[in-house]
Structure 1
Amino acid sequence: MATARPESLDTLVTSATADSLSAGAVQFLAPLSAPGLHRAITAPVEAVPGLWYEAGLPERIVADAADEPGRMPLVEFALTRLWERRDGSMLTHAAYDELGGVAGALVGYAEEAARELLHPDEEFLARRLFAQMTRPNDSGGFARSPARLPDLAPALRSLARRLAPTKLVVLGRAPDGEEIADLAHEALATLWPRLNGWLVDSRDFRR
């Protein structure tokens, strides 16, 4: 079983896979409704004795996530950061405000990690690395596109390994076993101003 976003279908559907994917093998899933998202947010906390949300916080998270692209990974990341900032056994509005909400949690973390790990003279390398892990999509934005590490220049491979512990870059393996580097969250390409600027510049340069 594998999951994919709609914009990845052009990559997945080839002459070799078309018949298999057309034979009832693909199931399209609609985004969670607001009540479904609320349940996804609250159920894990309800399952832990002695842990709870401050009143009204789940509803606030649902409202903030409503119109965000790729909202589930964003909510997941925000909840992880919220857990790290819990006040005893409570997940609080104050901690959520510090994170900057659903989108701010990911963007704030990414910017913090970049400032700590990237030297000023490494920005050009970072631009090249992230451009290798994304591709323009049909909506004018950018989609994740894992890069094979053996295909990257040594300096880019080294940078990818340094960034991996921050979770901005995820290291894994392709089906053939070759090591790959992937963007941790596709939303970074749109919501993180620094990265989005790099990618737009790279796309415009190629035209």
Structure 2
Amino acid sequence: MRSRYGLLIAVVVSTAALALIGSLAGYYLAGRSESPSIRAATDRSPGTATDRSPETGAGRSPETPAERGPARGGGAVPQTPANTPRQTYRIDRPVYQQSTSTLTLTTAETADGTVRLTFRYRNDSPLPWPLACPTREKDLTSSALIMADGRTVHPTDTWCAAERPGESITVAPGESIDTWGVFPVSPASAEPFSVRWYSFPVLTDVQLR
């Protein structure tokens, strides 16, 4: 009887010891397998401050030079002086392209503190491309250059305002129309700026070089 009782006690003690060891082992493995994944998820989180670009803020685009602050050192953005010889720059940057209709900024011409931008509407569709010119007053506020220091410069004259104010025009199939805008500013060579031409997408990082 005593030997059976002693044997029973030994079995109970052994079982308890095994359960304790198994519990500790399970906790250790869970801790080792869980910690690295938690750290990795934290490091890859897109919402962490270290992942954000220093130039990105609410409602701002990091790709628009016009929305950046003034040039370093607080100085004015350099411009071509007035009374300088006329100079033409080839740009050839697409502003709008959908199916067979395209709008391209083709050239920029600087002279006497102004810049004249030429835009080409091209219609490769079998159908006419209808366009409309605003009234002169509205037209001169419908487009703008956005300089690197944040200034918005509206044109003093445009093709629509000078030639067809308040009228509708059509680009015939297979043909092109060149229009222009004159702005009272002359960016220095390689000084980036943005172009907002009517309701078309803003063309960023334009440089005269």
* TM-score w.r.t. length of structure 1: 0.20
Q: Which has the higher contact order (CA 8 A, sep 6+)?
A: 2
Structure having the larger proportion of residues in helix: 1
Q: Which has the larger radius of gyration?
A: 2
TM-score, normalising length: structure 2 = 0.20
Which structure: greater strand fraction? 2
